[in-house]
Amino acid sequence: MKKKILLIYTGGTIGMMHNPDNGALEPFEFNDIYSHLPMLKLLNADIEFKTLLPLIDSSDTNPAFWVRLATMIGENYKAYDGFVILHGTDTMSYTASALSFMLENLAKPVILTGSQLPLGAVRTDGRDNIVTAVEIAADECAGEPRIQEVCIYFDNSLFRGNRTYKANAEEFSAFASPNYHRLATVGVTIHYNDFFIHQSEKKPLRVHKELNDNIALLKLFPGISQNMVRSVLSIPGLRGVVMETFGAGNAPSDPEFLNLIKEASDRGIIILNVSQCKDGGGVKMGLYETSVGLDKSGVISGGDMTTEAAITKMMYLFGTELPDDEIKYWLQHTMCGEMTTK
Ligand code: ASP
């Protein structure tokens, strides 16, 4: 029996073809996907196709878009064995991270992919990305889906989506996952790294549709002014701040800066520390004197979470009814493999 795979097109570079008459890039007719990618017929998959309208450049992604996408997956969950989402690369890691929190108890593959060159370009990377993403989504092991989580498949690598960030706007290897092993590498065969792949507990899927965007991202830099920090921390309705700090979670030891942070956290604003180092490691509060002050000011550690995961996790947690102490607990502990916690 072939696996039923739903291919959801949301926009981005991958869906573009050159118009043969004038050469302009225009959206590709995905209903004809088999005529453009006949090799898809050779896979163990029956592919159906849906478009999430309006098609967007992924720079226009927002929480409302994530809710519509998660809803589409929820409504089609029982009818399909797996989902492949075609998405622009620019914010694909944010969407993958958001979906990982919104699709609780996911037990089927949700694989995002896209391309650096349009599907209609001669050297497109989109063809291989789509074909292999579908092959992985249709794969099984002992009668169960091989992948049971939200992933990004790109340039011969399968990643846990909430561990990735877009690392390259030029090369085909657009994504990196510095703090978590690839789930699979693709060459002559698909080599799954089973130890790192999540196994679902087989509970019913819950689609969470409440996201709260009363959050801010504060990236520290040497010379950051009090005014800027104060302005961010006094945004009306603000519930939480993802603060990107230096190295292993360090920040200026200037008492006035620390006072602003402490005063905001005393007002109930949750401040989550993530590192600006994107290529490995994370926050280790207390390792240096320059993070001890943050700790004393009420800042909590986001460990080795990406900024993308931290932002979407805050939006998700503030959308729940959980009390702040539980939200703080979950920001420091893994919910769906987005951070390393013991
Ligand atoms: N700007 C495009 C997008 O993210 C780039 C891409 O698809 O790679 O939608």
pLDDT at 342: 63
Computed over every residue of the chain, the mean pLDDT equals 94
pLDDT at 216: 98
Q: For the segment 144-199, what is each residue's pLDDT rounded down to a tens digit?
A: 999 999 999 999 999 999 999 999 999 999 999 999 999 999 999 999 999 999 99
Q: For the segment 243-285, what is each residue's pLDDT rounded down to a tens digit?
A: 999 999 999 999 999 999 999 999 999 999 999 999 999 999 8
The residues, ordered by sequence, that sit 6+ positions from 189 with a Cβ below 8 Å of its Cβ are none
Q: What domains sit in the chain, N to C, each tagged with a CATH number?
A: 3-207 (3.40.50.1170), 215-331 (3.40.50.40)
The residues annotated with a catalytic role in the active site are 13
Measured by CA distance, the residue closest to atom 3 of ligand 1 is 88
Span from the CA of 206 to the centroid of ligand 1 (angstroms): 29
The residues, ordered by sequence, that sit 6+ positions from 269 with a Cβ below 8 Å of its Cβ are 233, 238, 239, 240, 241
Span from the CA of 90 to the centroid of ligand 1 (angstroms): 5
The arithmetic mean of pLDDT across residues 130-150, rounded, is 96
pLDDT at 99: 98
Question: What backbone phi and psi angles, to 5 degrees, belong to 227?
Answer: -60, -45
Span from the CA of 120 to the centroid of ligand 1 (angstroms): 15
90 C-beta closer than 6 A to ligand 1: yes
Residue 246 structure tokens: 């230096």
Q: Could you identify the atom of ligand 1 that is nearest to the CA of residue 92?
A: 4
312 C-beta closer than 6 A to ligand 1: no
Residue identified by tokens 């549709």 is 209
| Percentage of the chain exceeding pLDDT 90 | 85
**Beta strand pairing call for 240-245 and 215-219:** parallel
13 C-beta closer than 6 A to ligand 1: yes
pTM score: 0.96
Q: In which band, very low, low, confident or very high, does the pLDDT at 22 lie, cut at 50, 70 and 90?
A: confident
Q: Which of 9, 13, 115, 155 to mutate to test the pocket of ligand 1 (most atoms within 8 A of CB)?
A: 13
Q: Which of 57, 91, 93 to mutate to test the pocket of ligand 1 (most atoms within 8 A of CB)?
A: 57
Q: Could you identify the atom of ligand 1 that is nearest to the CA of residue 116?
A: 8
pLDDT at 20: 76
Closest CA relative to residue 238, chosen from 214, 256, 257, 258: 214
pLDDT, greater one: 17 or 119: 119
Rounded CA gap, 2 and 46, in Å? 6
Q: In which band, very low, low, confident or very high, does the pLDDT at 121 lie, cut at 50, 70 and 90?
A: confident
Span from the CA of 171 to the centroid of ligand 1 (angstroms): 14
Residue identified by tokens 């291919």 is 7
